[in-house]
Structure 1
Amino acid sequence: MAIEIGRPFPDFALPNQDGKVRKLKDFAGKWLVVYVYPKDDTPGCTIQGRSFTATKEAFSNANIEVIGLSEDDVSSHKHFCDKFSFTIDLLADPKHELLGATGTGRSEWKGTMYWDRTTYVVDPGGVLRKVYEKVDPKGHEVMVLEDIKKLQ
């Protein structure tokens, strides 16, 4: 079941592309964008990673951290980040710990199940404030930044 707006975001401890474990408490006092994407090095996911990297400074200036999340492993994330010079963290969740805890949906494409492109906005107190489901990666980062600024 999907996590409800107004409820605490699930606690997590997952490695990023460099193997450094990131936890929810690492982001205390900041807004947090957790964007779930289906698979490293695919067209839509590349657009999303590039877009959030290109706007990282604007997010940082608004006290917002952005992290990507998929079931791909650390080495896949490292390759993906290096290939496209991403400066955002991508968290590896191959056991579906956070993906399952958030209730992120799944869809089938060409016979394979993928996690739905979903974005979660968490406030500085760790409470879920907004969810975007079945996201179109083009221009999504602009909408997210504008929406968080309205919530701040």
Structure 2
Amino acid sequence: MSKKSQKKTSKTASGSPTPRKSTAKTTAQSKTKSAKTQRAPAGTSRKTTAKAASHNAASKRLKSSESAPSAQTNAKAALSEGQKAPAFRLPRDGGDVATLSDYAGKKLVLFFYPRADTPGCTREAIDFTRLKDAFAAAGTAVLGISADPPKAQEKFRDKHKLGVPLISDERHEMLEAYGAWGEKSMYGKTFQGILRTTVLVGADGRVAKIWRHVRVDGHADAVLAVATNL
């Protein structure tokens, strides 16, 4: 081999490590950039997720605070003595319609009972029927109200020969307006239903007296005594 060939071969041999070193350095830089690129989205994703979670939690708190009525609001919404009696227009037994305006200028007793033809409700309706003439003498009309349909009210009336009009409030509109619809409990279970309540409306159209959680025995007589002295 000539000296020129040996020098050329030597240069080639000695120069070969240089490209390998450059390639390794380039690969290392590429890996470093790739690692930084991969880490960045991960950090961004965590921040974005944390921000989204915080936003969702705030939204839930806001929604809860807006939708949940306070105890003070509920207290203000409840019917109380001295307030104007809520208007109503509902079907009654016999196919007629009963309205508050029908009794304008008169005293009016509204007794709300849970269900037609049940023992307590039957006794209460019979007691008000027994005192019908005494209420009339005191210038007071009497209406019974439940959520039973008109046909059930008529059957109840005919079976016990009731002499007071019976109103059907199947949609609970009047019951709720007069505070006679709410939470009840029986056999360890709670549910929404009719609360036995009686409301006496004065001739001025305002609520004169409210009896809540009524006990049937002697109740009609107690209501008559208040209506007579009103």
TM-score category of the 2 structures, normalised to the smaller one: over 0.9
Shift of the alpha carbon at 1:149? Answer: 1.9
Verify: 1:114 aligned to 2:190, yes or no.
no
Q: After the TM superposition, which parts of structure 1 deviate over 4 Å for at least 4 consecutive aligned residues?
A: none
Verify: 1:135 aligned to 2:214, yes or no.
yes
Verify: 1:125 aligned to 2:201, yes or no.
no
Counterpart secondary structure, 2:109: strand
Aligned pairs, number = 151
Counterpart secondary structure, 2:93: coil
Shift of the alpha carbon at 1:109? Answer: 2.7
Q: C-alpha distance in 2, partners of 1:46/1:109?
A: 20
1:15 is matched with which residue: 87, 91, 95?
Answer: 91
Counterpart secondary structure, 1:135: coil
Is the Cα contact below 8 Å between 1:18 and 1:78 reproduced in 2? Answer: yes
Shift of the alpha carbon at 1:150? Answer: 2.2
Verify: 1:145 aligned to 2:224, yes or no.
yes
- Structure 1 counterpart of 2:9: none
Which structure features the higher share of helix residues?
2
Shift of the alpha carbon at 1:144? Answer: 0.4
Is the Cα contact below 8 Å between 1:2 and 1:104 reproduced in 2? Answer: no
Select the structure of larger CA radius of gyration.
Answer: 2
- What is the root-mean-square deviation in Å for CA atoms of aligned residues? 1.2
TM-score under structure 2 length normalisation: 0.63
Q: C-alpha distance in 1, partners of 2:173/2:181?
A: 14
Point out where structure 2 has 5 or more consecutive residues left out of the alignment: 1-76
Is the Cα contact below 8 Å between 1:31 and 1:123 reproduced in 2? Answer: yes
Counterpart secondary structure, 1:40: coil
Shift of the alpha carbon at 1:78? Answer: 0.4
Q: C-alpha distance in 2, partners of 1:109/1:44?
A: 15
Verify: 1:85 aligned to 2:161, yes or no.
yes
Is the Cα contact below 8 Å between 1:108 and 1:114 reproduced in 2? Answer: no
Higher relative contact order, structure no. (Cα contacts within 8 Å, ≥ 6 residues apart): 1
Counterpart secondary structure, 2:198: strand
